[in-house]
Amino acid sequence: MSDSPHSLFDLSGRVALITGGSVGLGRQMAEALAQMGAHLVLCARKLDRVQQAAEELKQLGSQTLALACDVKDPASIQSAVDAAIQRFGHIDILINNAGTSWGARTEDMTLEQWNKVIETNLTGTFLFSQAVGKHMIPRRRGKIINIASVAGLRGSSPEFSAIGYSASKGGVILFTRDLAHKWGMHNIHVNAIAPGWFPTDMSAKIIERNKHRLLADIPLGRFGGPEDLKGAAIFLASDASNFVTGHTLVVDGGQSA
């Protein structure tokens, strides 16, 4: 008998490592996976915030581990991966969510500002995928979910001057496609989610300043809410997506349609 729809989405006993998992979209996705039974390894630069998130999410019945980690630092990444495996024995799901942006006109952006965004959003995704993938490959199973953005799908108007962010997220989308080709032979699924406008610490001010214009471009007429990434994350982390790899799932209210 084939699996029931409910069992396809069940994550009981699986271990998910989520970068940038203490706040915003990372926290939303962490909560979703915990609600489906997954144990959580939350990584972020600020240990106090990630510890608080881990304590709160523990109330959902999951085992949690809070770790300080800098996705730009290979040694920090390796330390986090080692700690997760020491605690849980394996990692089934990786969500590369940690990200940053820098607003500046292209002609004024410094190399330091550009590098900070690229190193966090794109290089960090590569480094964490590499470190976790070395453990997924011998087990012949794994789900990697990279958080891209609709900003990585097309250009934006001059008032949204964050070309490093757009370039990095476009890179994440192609990295996702290419890694899916490379690791499909190991039964590792590599997909991405491209969110649209969700109010977070990083985007709230931009949304507030441009609210009416942004809403005019979103067919559903609203911004993303606290439940709107959960289904996408659960789908790509679970057996429900076992024949899906190299895909970017757009969650933007129709903005890019």
Residues designated catalytic: 165
CB 96 within 8 A of CB 72: no
The residue among 19, 119, 112 whose CA lies nearest residue 72 is 119
CB 66 within 8 A of CB 51: yes
